[in-house]
Amino acid sequence: MARTNNVTELIIAGLFQDPEVQRACFAVFLPVYLATVVGNGLIVLTVGVSQSLRAPMYFFLSHLSLVEISYSSTIVPKFITDLLVKVKTISLKGCLAQIFFSHFLGVTEIFLLVVMAYDRYVAICKPLHYMSIMNRQLCYILVAGSWLGGSFHSIIQVLITIQLPFCGPNVIDHYFCDLHPLFKLACTDTFMEGVVVLANSGLISVFSFLLLVSSYIVILLSLRNRSAEGRRKALSTCASHLTVVALFFGPAIFLYMRPASTFTEDKLVAVFYTAVTPMLNPIIYTLRNAEMKIALRRLWGKKENSGMERKWEGD
């Protein structure tokens, strides 16, 4: 059967229908998005200019923060502006683009979290060989592989979706474009497409999560023979990463490893991982990391000092 598309524009149902609630959401999520961009941007800037943050862990963290900014910017600005309009629309091509970038960046983040877990494993379990194993070349390969893996995953998702015929209706029951809500608008049976999406998205999440859990079990077992101070330092370093892993994988597995639905709780869970989690990551990593806090103070101290110097020169 030939593929026919009578739909070129989609109407987004949104998160809530009450105008008062939508305005309240706007007042909440605009600061959340700005905090996401500023907080993660500070981490990227600080790691880039600070000589004390040259360890592989911070190199990976800067890429994670860059992904968080990009991922949030793919969804949240459109979501925020839609809160102020009565009819929320997006073109079909724009919808496919949002799906591509959200899945590309989401899976890139998964792979980066796995890479960061491997980095902690080598640092704690093989400290004497850490610098020889986690050399600059390997770090570049691991980061490039994370970005390429995310793009490969997303290309598959879009190739599956772009072949579907859309001839009406055109109301997508979500606040952004995602695969399962869009599949419901297709004028054909999408069971097989749903199975492929489950295999592609859900299994990546589950296998990566199991790999992460396994790596931290090995790390915890290796700490039994360490001193109390050594255990404290190692656990403090790992605690931030484990918190981010739980915040990211919990919602992802909930949404992609179960039958598709459009319950309100699904949308609220999606809000958490698209808007709230990217904002929390820089807070989690900086509050528990002394080196990052010192580097941030130095960065702002330099800016304040250079500003005072310019002021004195002007006087």
206/27: higher pLDDT: 27
Residue 231, pLDDT > 80, answer no
pLDDT at 263: 57
pLDDT of residue 107: 94
Per-residue pLDDT, averaged over 260-282, amounts to 80
Domain count, the chain: 1
Map tokens 């979500």 to a residue. 174
Distance of alpha carbon 142 from alpha carbon 180, whole angstroms: 31
pTM: 0.89
- Tell me the mean pLDDT in the region 54-65: 93
pLDDT tens figures, 153-194:
999 999 999 989 988 789 998 999 988 889 989 998 888 888
Residue 261 has a pLDDT of: 56
Per the structure, the complete domain to which residue 17 belongs is given by: 9-296
Does 311 fall in a domain? no
pLDDT of amino acid 75: 96
Q: Residue 308: inside a domain, yes or no?
A: no
3-state SS, the chain, equals CCCCECCCEEEECCCCCCHHHHHHHHHHHHHHHHHHHHHHHHHHHHHHHCCCCCCHHHHHHHHHHHHHHHHHHHHHHHHHHHCCCCCCEEEHHHHHHHHHHHHHHHHHHHHHHHHHHHHHHHHHHCHHHHHHHCCHHHHHHHHHHHHHHHHHHHHHHHHHHHCCCECCCCEECCCCCCHHHHHCCCCCCCHHHHHHHHHHHHHHHHHHHHHHHHHHHHHHHHHHHCCHHHHHHHHHHHHHHHHHHHHHHHHHHHHHCCCCCCCHHHHHHHHHHHHHHHHHHHHHHHHCCHHHHHHHHHHHHHHHHHHHHHHHHHC
Distance CA 174, CA 57 (A): 36
Q: Is the pLDDT of residue 11 over 60?
A: yes
Rounded average pLDDT over 72-98: 95
Confidence of residue 8 (pLDDT cuts 50, 70, 90): confident
Q: How confident is the model at residue 2 (pLDDT cuts 50, 70, 90)?
A: very low
Q: How confident is the model at residue 3 (pLDDT cuts 50, 70, 90)?
A: low
For residue 304, being part of any structural domain is answered with no
pLDDT digits 0-9 by tens, 17-57? 899 999 999 999 999 999 999 999 999 999 999 888 889 99
In this structure, is residue 96 part of a structural domain? yes
In a domain, 310, yes or no: no
pLDDT at 313 over 60: no
Question: Is residue 262 predicted with pLDDT exceeding 80?
Answer: no
* pLDDT over 80 at 225, yes or no: no
Mean pLDDT in residue range 4-16: 86
CATH number at residue 144: 1.20.1070.10
The answer to the question of residue 14 being in a domain is yes
Asked if residue 307 is part of any domain, the answer here is no
Provide the residue type at 29 as one letter.
F
| Average pLDDT over every residue of 122-132 | 90
Q: Is residue 252 part of a domain?
A: yes
